[in-house]
Structure 1
Amino acid sequence: MTAAQADLQAQFLEMPDGLRIDRPEVADGAVIWRIAKDSKALDLNSSYSYLLWCRDFAGTSVVARGADGRPVGFITGYIRPSRPETLVVWQVAVDAAHRGRGLAAALLDGLTAQVAAGQAAAESALTSVETTIAPGNTASERLFTSYAERHGAPVEREVLFGAGAFPDGPHDPEVLYRIGPFGH
């Protein structure tokens, strides 16, 4: 483990036993793609996009690694260009064998702490998190509303993209969850 990885890990004491949080690497892209595919809940992007994500957005994404070093869960995110104080969480997935242990919540807390620390060094502040959730995805709804509760932040919801906005056929609407400002 590098010094940077040790610093990152030291911030996250709530990881389930035997797992550690880390930044994704390009070599993780194929496993992350498989976890997303196996989730059956996410819109699956191309395998190429997961490789690029691990290269270009590693600073705003995290993976959970098992004892063998392979990812068992991930969150991908990015800083919203028009709102640099906002982290957009793109996808969250945990391998089936590791669900039900609080891993997604630990990853989300870890990711926002990582991004906030990076922004503090850049003299800006993380004030909100955004994500979209399809209606009926109760696991994601619980993950993000409990995150807001833990961090004392309000949650606003509105339809970001209606079902008719998607050109590739039937798709549920995507509801924007805006969490923040923090410490409200």
Structure 2
Amino acid sequence: MGEDGPAISALICACPPLDTNSAYCNLLQCTHFARTCVVAERDGLIVGWISAYRPPEEPHRVFVWQVAVHPSARGLGLGCRMLEHLIARPALQGVTTLTTTITEENGASWALFNSFARRQGAKLARRPIFDRDAHFAGAHDTEFLVSIGPLAAPNIPSEKEKS
């Protein structure tokens, strides 16, 4: 997935209001967290990306850092399908809660995560976590911690069922 770094950086730039991380940060996500990141392709082009990780102190959680869907692929449910694919991965066995942060004004992210919670039959809770003034010196909007859970047990086929 490391070779996808430049395409992922370009996708994130095409998806405001996402924060544009450094290319190096995106490469680290693609390599160090490959088991908890998702890439969606259409006709050989990357049109979707999720970066996520399991916080070491909270292995029952997965933290979704970014979800990017190219403008040409929006409105097709790709974001929700990528989240469902993510939580069904063996690397996330035992995860019961999905968390992320969202600014108040990011309507697209609120819609995505509310839809995901409904599809999971889970509750969505939110609270401020990083305050505009206290944490960002007024340079970034307040981030709300969003928790969705409990997650539905994924239907992962056993090794026998795969063959």
CA shift, 1:67, in A, is: 2.4
Aligned partner of 1:118 in structure 2 is: 91
Alignment partner for residue 58 of structure 1, among 34, 50, 53? 34
Say yes or no: does 1:88 pair with 2:60.
no
Aligned partner of 1:9 in structure 2 is: none
Name stretches of at least 5 consecutive residues in structure 1 with no aligned partner.
1-24
Measure, in 1, the Cα distance between the counterparts of 2:76 and 2:64.
20
Aligned partner of 1:40 in structure 2 is: 16
CA RMSD of aligned residues (A): 1.5
Name stretches of at least 5 consecutive residues in structure 2 with no aligned partner.
153-163
Measure, in 1, the Cα distance between the counterparts of 2:88 and 2:29.
19
CA contact (8 A) 2:36 2:91 kept: no
Say yes or no: does 1:97 pair with 2:66.
no
* 2:59 alignment partner AA: P
CA shift, 1:95, in A, is: 1.2
TM-score, normalised relative to structure 1: 0.79
CA shift, 1:79, in A, is: 0.2
Q: SS state of the match for residue 101, structure 1?
A: coil
Identity %: 40
User: How many pairs does the alignment contain?
Assistant: 152
CA shift, 1:118, in A, is: 2.5
TM-score, normalised relative to structure 2: 0.88
Aligned partner of 1:174 in structure 2 is: 143
Aligned partner of 1:11 in structure 2 is: none
CA shift, 1:98, in A, is: 1.2
* 2:91 alignment partner AA: G
